[in-house]
């Protein structure tokens, strides 16, 4: 059973800087050994379409970068749907760190 999940994260970077940080974060994630693998990612203006896999499951999603927030929509299949709350908690924390304004933290 798939579970659709939506999350927003506020930021104060402006749209262009937020997009740059997300792009840089994707490059870093691809070069790290993580339990999550980014299989596809493509940008159209301020929207990132992606496919990732974890625990033998693939999921599709998108990130829309707005001037003051980032909106993530993803459908978690099977086992990942069962762990949706935990998965999204980790994603939220990482997104907040990535989008943190300079000089904070």
Cβ within 8 Å of residue 88, ≥6 positions away: 5, 7
CA distances from 90 to 7, 71, 83 (A): 12, 15, 11
Instruction: Give tens-digit pLDDT for 64-94.
Output: 999 999 999 998 887 666 777 777 788 888 8
Name the pTM for this structure: 0.83
Cβ within 8 Å of residue 84, ≥6 positions away: 3, 5, 76
Phi, psi of 102 (to 5 degrees): -55, 140
Domains delineated in the chain: 3-98 (3.30.530)
Grade residue 63 by pLDDT with cuts at 50, 70 and 90.
very high
Residue 41 · residue 63 · CB < 8 Å: no
């Amino acid at each position: 059973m798939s579970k659709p999940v939506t999350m927003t994260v506020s930021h104060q970077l402006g749209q262009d800087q937020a997009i740059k940080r997300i792009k840089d974060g994707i490059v870093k994630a691809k070069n790290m050994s993580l339990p999550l693998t980014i299989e596809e990612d493509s940008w159209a203006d301020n929207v990132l379409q992606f496919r990732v896999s974890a625990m033998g499951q693939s999921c599709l999603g998108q990130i829309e970068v707005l001037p003051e927030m980032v909106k993530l929509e993803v459908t978690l299949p099977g086992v990942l749907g069962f762990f949706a709350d935990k998965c999204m908690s980790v994603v939220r924390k990482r997104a907040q760190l990535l989008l943190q304004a300079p000089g904070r933290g």
